[in-house]
Chain A
Amino acid sequence: MNSQEERQWIARCREGDREAFGPIVNAYMKRAYFTALGMLGDGEEAYDISQEAFVRAFRAIRGFDPSSDFAPWFFRILRNLCLTALARRRSRGVDSLDEMAEEGREPDAGERFRPDLLAERSEAAERVWRGLAALDPKSREVIVLKDLEGYRYREIAEILGVPIGTVMSRLFHARQKLKAKLESGEGLRAV
């Protein structure tokens, strides 16, 4: 779908046409799922939350500025739902990734960030996956958006609602933290 077609579908959605949202959902569903998966490390939760993000986006579509890009606006909704889900884990009394990261503990691989969520399983990939899991959410999200999903800085800045300089700064610190996690394991050289 090109941007012209996307704008036409969105214009119909803004008039309340639910069916017109189908092509938009089909165009973004996989990116939405993988972004949520990188944030949450749980396939079923990512599948569910990515769908909920589309529902929320449709409900709010009249507030969307049709002259701007849909993707950053939508992924901001998705990102916020992921943060809410992470906060909910904390409120349920389950150890959150933040807490585990602060305490220097690895997440329970048996529950989330399981190795079978990787397309190609290798010792190196599993170590990076665990390293990502051990990061705080803000560090993890910027790495997911940049390295796993391939967004440009401008897009990440729009999704996170911060200046590009902040994106670069967060990315630098996130990569440093990840480097430290990997080095504290068996060493980055082995990766």
Chain B
Amino acid sequence: MRCEEFPDASMAYLDGEMEAEARRRFEEHLAACPACRAELDALRRVKEVTAGMRLADREDRDWELYWGRVYNRMERGAGWILLSLGAIVVLVFGAYHAFLSIWSDASLPAVIRIGIGCALLGIVILFVSVARQRLYAWVRDPYRRVQR
């Protein structure tokens, strides 16, 4: 074994994931190489302190409530999706018909109809602007390729 192989080999050795024959060759190298031996000792101490560290548990009540909270989220998530979809369909349908009825109402002054048209155009511009900003942020997101 050569010193260049030390990084991967030292990890497999410390973590007990090395085959017997590779282990024998690694130990032979360690016996002949003080630098790798010293580095391995230092890395072993790091592993010992991290593996020995324990994080505090939460209160029992948090675990008793855990599944119920997950269930509520699952249930409400489906509810919110359906509600949002339904609301969008109804709003778009209502807005379209409201616009048509106002636009075709000859009794309304032209300035009102133009004002409503401008307001609707403004909403469309704002929507496109926000969508573009979100798209820009998504493209620059370093974790966008992460699978969820």
User: Which A residues are within 8 Å of any B CB, using their own CB?
Assistant: 18, 21-22, 25-26, 29-30, 33-34, 37-38, 43, 47, 51-52, 54-56, 58-60, 76-77, 80-81, 83-84, 87, 91, 116-120, 124-125, 128-129, 132, 143, 146-148, 152-153, 161, 165, 168-169, 171-173, 175-176, 178-179, 182, 188, 191
B66 & A29 in contact (Cβ 8 Å cutoff): yes
A80 & B46 in contact (Cβ 8 Å cutoff): no
A26 & B46 in contact (Cβ 8 Å cutoff): no
B70 & A55 in contact (Cβ 8 Å cutoff): yes
Chain A residues in 8 Å Cβ range of B46? 175, 178-179, 182, 188
* B100 interface hit (Cβ, 8 Å): no
A87 & B73 in contact (Cβ 8 Å cutoff): no
Chain B residues in 8 Å Cβ range of A43? 58
Pick from B10, B53, B56, B70: contact of A148, CB below 8 A: B53
A111 to chain B, nearest CB (A): 17
A51 & B143 in contact (Cβ 8 Å cutoff): no
Chain B residues in 8 Å Cβ range of A30? 57, 63
Chain B residues in 8 Å Cβ range of A52? 73
A80 & B15 in contact (Cβ 8 Å cutoff): no
How many chain B residues touch the partner (CB < 8 A)?
40
Known: A30-B57, A175-B50. 12 other contacts (CB 8 A): A26-B67, A29-B66, A47-B58, A84-B143, A119-B56, A128-B49, A161-B147, A171-B11, A172-B7, A172-B43, A178-B46, A191-B49
Cβ-Cβ contact count across A and B, 8 Å cutoff: 125
Q: Which of B75-93 contact A (CB under 8 A)?
A: 75, 77
Chain A residues in 8 Å Cβ range of B67? 22, 25-26, 29
- Tell me the bound Cα distance from A88 to B70 in angstroms: 22
Also in contact, A128 and B12, with CB within 8 A (given A18-B75, A25-B67, A51-B66)? no
- Tell me the bound Cα distance from A34 to B63 in angstroms: 13
Highest count of chain B CB atoms <10 Å: which of A37, A124, A175: A175
- Tell me the bound Cα distance from A37 to B148 in angstroms: 19
* B141 interface hit (Cβ, 8 Å): yes
Chain B residues in 8 Å Cβ range of A38? 55
- Tell me the bound Cα distance from A111 to B143 in angstroms: 24
In the A-B complex, the 8 residue pairs with the closest CB atoms: A119-B54, A147-B50, A172-B7, A168-B8, A80-B146, A147-B51, A168-B11, A119-B56
